[in-house]
Amino acid sequence: MNSFLSDSKVWSRRDFAKVSAAATLGLVFSRLPAMAGPFTREDFDHLVPADKKLSPDWVKSLFARGEPEVLRGNELKYVAETNAPGIGAYRASLEKFLANQPVQALPHERIISRLDEAGKTFKVLIIKTPFTKPHTSVFFQLECAYWNAEFEKEMRAAIK
């Protein structure tokens, strides 16, 4: 078959490439008018107003940070200095570091259960350090400031 296109209803790759190349060259070298342009800066001024009249509270909420929920194992207060030298200094340092945060002390197993449950829905980031004192884990759950449990509850009630 020496025809430009084969007689079959399915084009070979070679036939498709020939037609595509010919069509592209035809469009490039034709004298057809451009679809759009040329443009100047003024052409775009009316499309999106400079002042979008956005609520300042709404704009502020885009950058608001939620308060973290801080959890630590309840067992930490029972670890004896004789069994883990330096644990008292760690407790004091941790207390000073978290002084402005409400810290919830829960049994370690309960915290791990919550972490496991959160991992079923969300990606969980765990940062391990070389620190080797027992029951010294601290957990931070970060929430967004633009949506809270009350808003979620209202929305879920509206869905029902």
Q: Is the peptide bond before 130 cis (omega within 30 degrees of 0)?
A: no
Count the residues in the chain.
160
What are the residues whose beta carbons fall under 8 Å from the beta carbon of 114, sequence distance 6 or more? 71
Bridge partners of 139?
A: 71
pLDDT digits (tens, 9 = 90+) for 1-53: 455 555 556 778 888 888 888 887 776 666 655 555 677 777 777 777 677 77
Number of H helices, E strands in the chain: 6, 3
What are the residues whose beta carbons fall under 8 Å from the beta carbon of 124, sequence distance 6 or more? 115, 118
Number of neighbours of residue 143 by Cβ within 10 angstroms:
13
What's 65's DSSP letter?
Answer: B
**pTM of the full structure:** 0.54
pLDDT digits (tens, 9 = 90+) for 135-154: 999 999 887 777 878 888 99
